[in-house]
Homo-oligomer: A and B are copies of this chain.
Amino acid sequence: MQFTTTQIIEILGTISFAISGSFAALQRRLDPFGVLIIAFVTSIGGGTVRDLLLGDTPVKWMRDVNYCFLILATSLLTIFFRTHIKKFRITLFLFDSLGLGLFTVLGIQKGIAYGLSPGICIALGTITGCFGGVIRDTLLNTIPLIFRKEIYATACIIGGMLYFTLMYFDLKTDVAKVLVIGFIFALRIVVVRYKLSLPKFGY
């Protein structure tokens, strides 16, 4: 069995978001089924919204049950090892940021495969990266939603711009993907670590 770059990115992203979803649900003290549902929604949310917008239905996770098993296994392992992982909360944030980078690149690629213009591809990447978390937070009724989301979205948009800049300079696609994933990942860490933010305009 041989995996393509895209499949590897998809698998890693699915695992990352399943872990982040499971932990968000455990924090709210949901029962095991609740944890499973939130892990599932976080993992497949972004790609599902993207595929609905593109009209690519039945959506992917319905056609490939392996993703469901992957999420189930990840979620059960997270529940099982929660006491160990809880000491490494930073690990979770890292997984979440990694998932964001991975899924953003996936979304951009799918847009390109559909022949859409760069601006739309970046929007698709941002949707793929962010929407799992948006649906997760909406279901969990987490209050300070948008503040976290913004850093998310802004990182995706800038990462998307970087991707098309790299493509413009004829970089190899696989190299560009890895660079952008690393960039979004690093940007999130720097932003959260140094509490950076763009200037805001009130009125």
Which residue of chain B has its CB nearest to the CB of A116? B62
* Apart from the given pairs A31-B199, A35-B201, A140-B146, 17 other A-B contacts in the complex at a CB distance below 8 Å: A26-B202, A30-B146, A31-B154, A32-B198, A32-B201, A33-B157, A34-B146, A37-B126, A40-B123, A52-B53, A53-B62, A54-B58, A55-B57, A55-B58, A58-B116, A62-B116, A68-B120
Whether the Cβ atoms of A200 and B29 lie closer than 8 Å is yes
Which residue of chain B has its CB nearest to the CB of A28? B146
**Count, chain A residues at interface, CB 8 A:** 59
Contact among B62, B83, B123 for A203, CB-based, below 8 A: B83
Whether the Cβ atoms of A149 and B145 lie closer than 8 Å is no
Given contacts A62-B120, A139-B134, A153-B33, contact A27 B203 (CB under 8 A): yes
The 27 listed contacts between A and B (C-beta, < 8 Å) are A26-B203, A30-B150, A31-B197, A31-B200, A32-B198, A32-B199, A33-B157, A33-B198, A34-B146, A34-B153, A34-B154, A37-B126, A37-B150, A37-B153, A53-B57, A53-B58, A54-B57, A55-B59, A58-B114, A65-B120, A68-B123, A82-B201, A83-B203, A139-B145, A141-B143, A141-B144, A141-B146
Using CB atoms and an 8 Å cutoff, list the residues of chain A in contact with chain B: 23, 26-35, 37, 40, 48, 52-55, 57-59, 61-62, 65, 68-69, 79, 82-83, 86, 114, 116-117, 119-120, 123-124, 126, 134, 138-141, 143-146, 149-150, 153-154, 157, 197-203
